[in-house]
Structure 1
């Protein structure tokens, strides 16, 4: 068995003269066999076209190659992805919470981390970073709303800090999305749902050409969506979002391809924000009410992404990528109400505007050395974030009263890495890598007379992965590595802060098992230690220390095919998380998930029908370091049914099928309501979506 590279290319060397039957298979495509006649000293180039077919788990052979992620292809084809939130939920064990009117980046939970909005998970789209360093609201802020879900062709995820190619924020894991290079059909879609929710989508082919051999192609398409919603809160969210994306791909010749994409996105919203439990208990507000209904904000992001891929005569591949991003962010929030200002209230305004310029270059080659098959990936990268006018202000009803923090940031990250794999036998693969990242942090405080400060920091990140196949259906693997997430620039330049990039040290021991021809199982025991990290709290402009932490747990996932059209999936995750410098009584990590599970049944292509019935369960977890306040868990059921013809698709979905009242985002917060003499610390929450029904129709032409 031979695996192709990411472009579908493969190579056989030193074949003897004769007739060969070449069989190609790919998950979700019909297998194809082609006869190849080889003469002496002949080099042949063959193009094989695959046609889509039924998803069949029995096509999977557990491979010792680390590049293979079986669950990606299965989940992406089976699970409904109507929103960008659905895209993130494709990662086994990843949970999200929205708590600011739908326009703010989701809060993410994975592997015992409250990742906040992206501090410990690296997210990218077509190689462009989603995470924002030194962001006005929080480090690593990852707003994925600029992506139109229907343009996403595939995704890849990894858990733990074991991929050499990924740097900043890759501690708990990484998620990489890839968008379509071409459209098979034009698409027009309209959706309508509860709470005055509407969405329109158009995806149109602008160019679809191929030469006489059908090997050199030019493709271009334009996609756009508009979303508007009033929301289910007492005070309307008035959420609006517009996305536009265009992508052009071409084969310059038989060995060189070019891709150019341009996109822009903007959104605005009002938010009811987090509310204290006591306000609901007393009847001051309803479950869906607000203390300060003037929260909300607006944001925008524009992207330009150019990628050139060249295959050399010896089979090596050189990839060059240039990207530019313009990003704006304005957010009004009020978490403490009248705790600090009993007259005007404690509303804050967080804002920034930045330009990002980046380059990624990589060289990859497969070869033989001393009789062993091997592959090497070497790469370099550069990212510069130029942030002008980033700050925090005290406001009332979106009117600024006074500045708290205000300045300019220039943060540069240069990196170089090498990733080496040796295929020691048909059963054993050894992979190891080393990554070096260098940072330059610069901050100019515009509220101070002192000169701007800067600091240079660097970090080495070694990785090692060992894969051993007991058989074609059973694999063991061991991964160890170091990852990191950078500090906010406003922390990194402080003289009092330890001169170090906070590191994460991880270990995974796991297995991939194929049980018969119908069930695939992944199980992993994992362990992760985090260095002491200093944090910048964007909500009040203060600096704090998190202390060292330790997390360990078990991830268990299963995917099964009950017959040709009925599938099941199951994920269970357990984690124990502690601050290691604290006692057992005071060492809890606030909001760190302990138990979580996702599972569902999926029908695919049964007489034109597809459907999904799924649950998501997140257990209760500590909201305070001494475990004195508990964030309650939830169990939610969702359902989708879809009917497809050659020209039309019709679907109906229901979120929170049993209309439960549940708390989506929860925090232990000290606040004071108007008229209270003293602040109170208790759970503040954003209510989760009640029963939400949505229907859509798609026209394909």
Structure 2
């Protein structure tokens, strides 16, 4: 009886003196750590740090042991004392271990997957950047300098039509672009500067607007670097790359600055050398001011030139006219450049309010020469076309994050406003000869496009549940001056509302169940929108839903799965012989995504991602309702090694299944399976690397189109597969030095 009374009094006192504990978690560079896991070992209750690194842990009593952990950092243990009203926890980096990962109750917990992949599979080239998104495939079909063609969730995204891509809050996509809506050239991003890759699939995120139908990808560059680096890379096909990262201010507490630069040259495996060269220069400065202000300023310049052999018809190879790496018209190619200026300001008010402002400016030039149909329209001069533009982009976004502690749970509120303005001068589509002579201007004018927007939403945490309703409102003004039609001005303005709802259930820190629903949209090209009266022709909506889970059944195993559905009010179809895209009817996509992340031992990791998708046009009859080039089945996976001895490397496999190249599946885009491998060894401050693309030298088609064309010796046109061959076995070596 006495023991029972003593136990009762002890529990009573613990509850009586239990209190709320607040704090922040940062790294050694004072950067907030989002997703830090704080566990009270006595009562097995936990909390997570938010974007500010801020956390609240309820029912903490004197003597409780608190365990603080986060992926990629050393775990800390703290014994709580009453004097500790506010904890400022600093975590040190460590070798990544999967057992450190906890599944936090956040709307986009799948960002955990990108963090794991970036830690275990570092980016080795600019083409690998977008491959970090599970299920996203890329294809190059114009000499290396053109933005890659993208595929995700049953979409042939062209070069970015239905995926929103940004870097440090600055949009990458080019709306109303000379080559295609949403054109997203990411080649200005130097891989070694990437700090974080965040992505989400579907139209469920209120702070992501135009083009966020299949999803979004957001890159964040490093705020500071620990040490300067120089690397040289050389390989087959006259390939050469050099990169430098230079720390300008050392390890100062309040400020940091660095310069990054890259030069790349390659002829590729083609009979006509690509002569592809690219120059990148970027500088970034960060300053921490009094009263919890911080500013980031970056400026970057990118320039690229190349030749291309284009997409070749299969019959020309079968007839022996050319080889796989030959060309019907080797006068394709182009040049492009972009200058970016980006400013970010954050202000913390207390420990629960964050204000973030982003402003950016870009100047962009683009000139591309292509020939998709050869001599179909002009039997004498050929069908070469030029697409050209000069563009200025100005934009800003201001957002506020406010966190509240309520008796019934925690509440966070996020709102934002912003705008983007594109001024495109002399946007052109012309029929040309040998890149020098304009035979006929097909389209020529100026585009002015404005997008103003606002969004708001809350995240309400109660127990194991998180509910996130949100709303986004976008206003567009499209204006086109047609220089081929007496400078006639065409304009239209439209508004679209996009509601979202996310419901998350986390019974513990090893599993999350989620339901997501929302409306998104993509804007159509100004040259089309300015003539339209129906809002669906201007801002066609997308309606989506996801049902899935993220599960950690063992300490070193993470599984994720989602069943999803997406309906589009309007579908885009690529028209190869005109080098434009045009709109058709409604479409539906549905599918299953599955992913696995497994740490076999302390230095060996395995991952795999599978997608199975059905994509169909609704308004077309059965059997003629396939969406051309929409992926049906994809599979990626591999092994990665990070050994304490200094050895690292990986083996990666990607498979894209056969798919319809036209609406009735009478023409097939053949699938492929390609294996890449790399091995690296770091000795003190020197790193040696060897990378092999297409390790088994398979013949594969990187991009494919069903195109009607005519060769110069042919009497009639033929519609069949035109393709760009994927690289054969390609070996590169790297030497890098940390200074």
TM normalised by structure 2 equals 0.91
The residue that corresponds to 1:350 in the other structure is 387
State the shift of 1:546 in Å: 1.8
Give per-residue Cα distances to partners, 1:372-408, cap 9 Å, x unaligned: 2110100011000011110101111102222110000
| 8 A contact 1:232–1:689 mirrored in 2 | yes
Counterparts of 2:580 and 2:641 in 1: how far apart (Å)? Answer: 51
> 1:535 offset after TM fit, Å?
7.2
Residue aligned with 2:245, SS: strand
1:329 aligns with 2:366: yes
Task: Give, in whole Å, the separation in 1 of the partners of 2:223 and 2:402.
Answer: 24
**Which residue is equivalent to 1:213?**
none
User: How big is the alpha-carbon RMSD for the aligned residues of Structure 1 and Structure 2?
Assistant: 1.8
Separation in 2 of the partners of 1:542 and 1:604?
45
1:540 Cα deviation after fit: 2.7
- Partner residue in 1 for 2:179: 137
CA deviation vs aligned residue, 1:314-344 (integer Å, no higher than 9, x gap): 5200001110001110000000000000000
Q: Are 2:577 and 2:708, in contact at CA under 8 Å, matched by a contact in 1?
A: no
Equivalent residue in structure 2 for 1:124, among 166, 191, 209:
166
2:118 equivalent to 1:80: no
Given that 2:641 and 2:650 are in contact with CA atoms closer than 8 Å, whether structure 1 keeps it comes out as: yes
Say if 1:7 and 1:268 are closer, same or farther in 2 by CA, change over 3 A: farther
Kept in 1, the 8 Å contact 2:52–2:354? The answer is no
Q: Is residue 615 of structure 1 aligned with residue 653 of structure 2?
A: yes
Match for 1:430 among 451, 454, 467? 467
C-alpha contact (below 8 Å) 2:168/2:219 kept by paired residues: yes
State the match for 1:55 in structure 2. 96
> What displacement does 1:50 show?
2.4
Separation in structure 1 between the aligned mates of residue 571 and residue 629 of structure 2, nearest angstrom: 17
Q: Deviations over 1:20-71 (max 9, x none)?
A: 65532111121123456443xx85462x332221211111222222243220
The one of 188, 207, 216 aligned to 1:146: 188
* Cα distance in 2 for residues equivalent to 1:174 and 1:602: 26
Partner of 2:30: none
Task: Identify which of 288, 307, 330 aligns with 2:325.
Answer: 288
The equivalent residue for 1:516 is: 554
Deviations along 1:44-101, one digit per CA (max 9) or x if unpaired, are 462x332221211111222222243220111011113122211100100110000000
Distance, in Å, in 2 between the alignment partners of 1:534 and 1:494 is 17
Partner of 1:558: 596
The answer to whether the aligner puts 1:647 opposite 2:685 as a matched pair is yes
Distance in 2, matches of 1:688 and 1:525, equals 32
The residue that corresponds to 2:23 in the other structure is none
- CA distance in structure 1 between the partners assigned to 2:126 and 2:595 by the alignment: 22
CA contact (8 A) 2:408 2:462 kept: no
1:23 is aligned to 2:67: yes
1:170 pairs with one of 204, 208, 212:
212
> Mind listing any 5+ residue stretches in structure 1 that lack a counterpart?
211-215
The Cα of 1:430 is off from its aligned counterpart by 0.7
Mapped partners of 1:624, 1:495: distance in 2: 27
Aligned to 1:575: 613
Aligned: 1:676 with 2:714: yes
Moved more, 399-408 or 412-421: 399-408
- Structure 2 counterpart of 1:200, from 242, 262, 278: 242
Deviations 1:580-630 (A, max 9, x none): 001111100000000110010111124111110111000000000011100
Q: 1:142 to 1:553 in 2, by over 3 A?
A: same
Matches within 5 A, 1:144-293: 144-210=186-252, 216-293=253-330
Between the aligned partners of 1:607 and 1:300, the Cα distance in structure 2 is: 42
Q: Say yes or no: does 1:339 pair with 2:404.
A: no
Report what 2:132 is aligned to: 90
CA contact (8 A) 1:200 1:227 kept: yes
Is 2:55 aligned against 1:10?
yes
Of the two, which has the highest radius of gyration? 2
> Equivalent residue of 2:578, what SS?
coil
3-state secondary structure, aligned to 2:250: strand
- Pairing 1:665–2:703 present: yes
Out of 141, 154, 164, which is 1:112 matched to? Answer: 154
2:25 corresponding residue in structure 1: none
- Output the CA distance in 2 between the equivalents of 1:54 and 1:23: 18
Q: 1 CA distance for matches of 2:286 and 2:601?
A: 38
1:157-183 per-position Cα deviation (integer Å, ceiling 9, x unaligned)? 101111111001100010000000001
Seen in structure 2, the aligned counterparts of structure 1 residues 31 and 700 have a Cα distance that, compared at 3 Å, is same
The SS at the match of 1:562 is strand
- Structure-2 separation of matches of 1:116 and 1:224: 29
Show the counterpart of 1:442.
479
Match of 1:406 among 444, 464, 470: 444
Cα separation, 2, equivalents of 1:372 and 1:119:
40
Q: Using the TM superposition, give the Cα deviation of residue 312 of structure 1 relative to its aligned residue in structure 2, in angstroms.
A: 0.5
- What secondary structure sits across from 1:524 in the alignment? strand
The 1-side partners of 2:410 and 2:181 are apart by 41
Judge conservation of contact 1:488–1:535 (CA < 8 Å) in 2. Answer: no
> Is 1:374–1:423's contact at 8 Å kept on the other side of the alignment?
yes
Quick check: 1:593–1:621 contact (8 Å CA) kept in 2? yes
Query: Matched residue pairs, number?
Result: 691
Distance 1:536 1:523 in 2: 31
Structure 1 contact 404–541 (Cα < 8 Å) conserved: no
Q: Is the 8 A contact 1:136 1:538 kept in 2?
A: no
Secondary structure of the residue aligned to 1:491 is: helix
Q: Residues 510-559 of structure 1: CA distance to partner in whole angstroms, max 9, x if unpaired?
A: 01111211110001110000002577969637773321000000000000
Asked whether the 8 Å contact 1:231–1:237 carries over to 2, the reply is yes
TM normalised by structure 1 equals 0.96
Match for residue 412 of structure 2? 375
Relative to 1, partners in 2 of residues 1:36 and 1:374: Cα closer, same or farther, differing over 3 Å? same
